[in-house]
Amino acid sequence: MILPELNSISLDITSRCNLQCSFCRNKDVLSNKELERNFIVKILDDAFQYESLKRIHFTGGEPTLHPDFIELCRIVKSREKIALSVSSNGYDLSMNLLHDLADLGIDALSISLNGNEGTQNKLTGRQNSYSRLRQNITTINENSISYGIRTTLTPQNIGQMQSIVEFCE
């Protein structure tokens, strides 16, 4: 059987999140539920059948809150030629988690920053989200993990691109 081309898949592995962003597109479905490990493994196994597959992307909610997150990353990285990327809000990335991701060789981590300190804290509903993000970026750098910053434009942060660029510098 000849399979059609499949280059990448993006999986919302959990609906859990530790932030409460006012602009969240998933706000109505955030909960303490997630896809079960075995169901995700089945999807991955099916995807691995495609020789054209180049990337698996985990997102959520906050994907790092899935109880089997590291194991799922390990399954992806056990496959040659398939890149692993993860979107995270960057709020609660422990040193151990980042060490594990670095050891596994995660290919890309996308972190969300949505304005200067006051705006980031306000938009995410957490008074310490900016400082936690800054601290976690330091650990990400110490572990030489390749990462990017993504921003959701809102009326509250549209004038703050310069401060986001300065954060990145």
Chain contacts with ligand SF4 (rule: CB under 6 A): 17, 19-21, 24, 26, 60-62, 89
The rounded distance, in Å, linking the Cα atoms of 72 and 58 is 9
Cα first-last separation, the chain:
50
Measured from the CB of residue 114, what is the shortest distance to ligand SF4 in angstroms? 9
Nearer to ligand SF4, 21 or 137 (CB): 21
Structure tokens, 27: 């706000």
Structure tokens, 104: 């596994």
Measured from the CB of residue 67, what is the shortest distance to ligand SF4 in angstroms? 17
Nearest to 80 by CA among 59, 111, 105: 105
Nearer to ligand SF4, 23 or 50 (CB): 23
Residues with Cβ within 8 Å of 162's Cβ and at least 6 positions away in sequence, in order, are: none
Integer-rounded Cα radius of gyration of the chain: 17
Nearer to ligand SF4, 120 or 160 (CB): 120
Measured from the CB of residue 73, what is the shortest distance to ligand SF4 in angstroms? 19
Nearer to ligand SF4, 105 or 148 (CB): 148
Measured from the CB of residue 111, what is the shortest distance to ligand SF4 in angstroms? 10
